Amino acid sequence: EPEVTQTPSHQVTQMGQEVILRCVPISNHLYFYWYRQILGQKVEFLVSFYNNEISEKSEIFDDQFSVERPDGSNFTLKIRSTKLEDSAMYFCASNGGRPPGELFFGEGSRLTVL
Amino acid sequence: DAKTTQPPSMDCAEGRAANLPCNHSTISGNEYVYWYRQIHSQGPQYIIHGLKNNETNEMASLIITEDRKSSTLILPHATLRDTAVYYCIVRVLGGKLIFGQGTELSVKP
């Protein structure tokens, strides 16, 4: 069964460093998303991406964050100048675009900022 | 913010049906009801969705009231592996999923 894959599964970084989280959505899906979940809290929407541009973003997704689809398969989330409060699980999701289609989530990348 | 209300936790005996309620009294005509679950800290997993009619798949059944202001997710024969947080979400076509706190279901032997 097709699945969304994310790398790395766990990344530890120092405060102030930049991190890139990578996602390979399901082939032929058109819509892509990033969500995050701080430990013990709810899953929060960050950004949605369609047709090579951001279609919607939350107030969490400020200038510190950026997304990119550098080639036909990868979808990345870049976090610049990481802060302690960026420590969380980051989930990538994709959607086939055929309404009302479900979102398929990856297993997540755990980011720990020290 | 989430537009749904769910009980924070529920227990269910293994092998029995788990009935998880959800209120969505402000749902719009073009919004679907989706159910996802999250086991431990894994990625959320799609279960089922519906608009007006009741729906059933291999995982669960979804019962939506006639006025669409509430729904119930039914796991017909709960197993220990169904222990998870269950999220009821309303979503417009093509819209983002907004997760609330969900219901923490504990299936007990």
Residue of chain A with shortest Cα separation from B85: A42
- β-strand B70-75 against B61-64: which pairing, if any? antiparallel
B40-64 burial by CB neighbour count: b if 16+ within 10 A, else e?
eeebbbbbbbbeeeebeeeebbbbb
Which residues on adjacent β-strands are paired with residue B34? B49, B89
Question: Rounded to whole angstroms, how far apart are CA atoms A87 and A91?
Answer: 13
Percent of chain A with pLDDT over 70: 96
B43 vs A107: CB contact, 8 Å cut-off?
A: yes
| Contact between A4 and A109 (Cβ < 8 Å) | no
Per residue in B73-93, pLDDT (tens digit) is 999 999 999 999 999 999 877
For residue B2, the model assigns a pLDDT of: 55
pLDDT tens-digit series, residues B7-35 = 999 999 999 999 999 999 999 888 999 99
Average of per-residue pLDDT across A64-72: 91
Cα dihedral across residues B82, B87, B89, B95: positive or negative: negative
Contact (CB<8Å) A108/B94: no
- Does pLDDT of B43 surpass 90? yes
Considering only CB atoms, A105 lies closest to which of B43, B93, B101, namely: B43
Q: Which two three-digit tokens encode residue B22?
A: 């959800």
Phi/psi for B81 (5° steps) reads: -75, -10
Residue range A7-60, pLDDT digits in tens = 999 999 999 999 999 999 998 888 999 999 999 999 999 999 988 899 999 999
Best of B97, B101, B103 to disrupt the A interface (most A CBs within 10 Å) is: B97
Q: Positive or negative, the Cα torsion across B68, B55, B87, A110?
A: negative
Measure CA A113 to chain center: 16
Calculate the average pLDDT of chain A.
Answer: 93
Residue A84 has pLDDT above 80, yes or no: yes
Cβ proximity of A78 and A54 under 8 Å? no
Listed residue (B80, B105, B103, B94) closest to B23, CA to CA:
B103
How confident is the model at residue A75, as a pLDDT?
A: 95
User: Rg for chain B (alpha carbons), in Å?
Assistant: 13
Residue A13 exposure: Cα atoms within 13 Å on the Cβ side: 23
Closest partner CB to B96 (pick from A4, A48, A89): A48
Closest CA to A25 of A16, A36, A17, A34: A34
Q: Are A21 and A13 in contact (CB under 8 A)?
A: no
**Chains A, B: CB contacts under 8 A, how many?**
51
Q: Which two tokens stand for residue A50?
A: 């369609």
- In angstroms, the CA B16 to CA A35 distance is 33
Contact of A74 with chain B, judged by CB distance below 8 Å, is answered with no
In this prediction, residue B38 carries a pLDDT of: 96
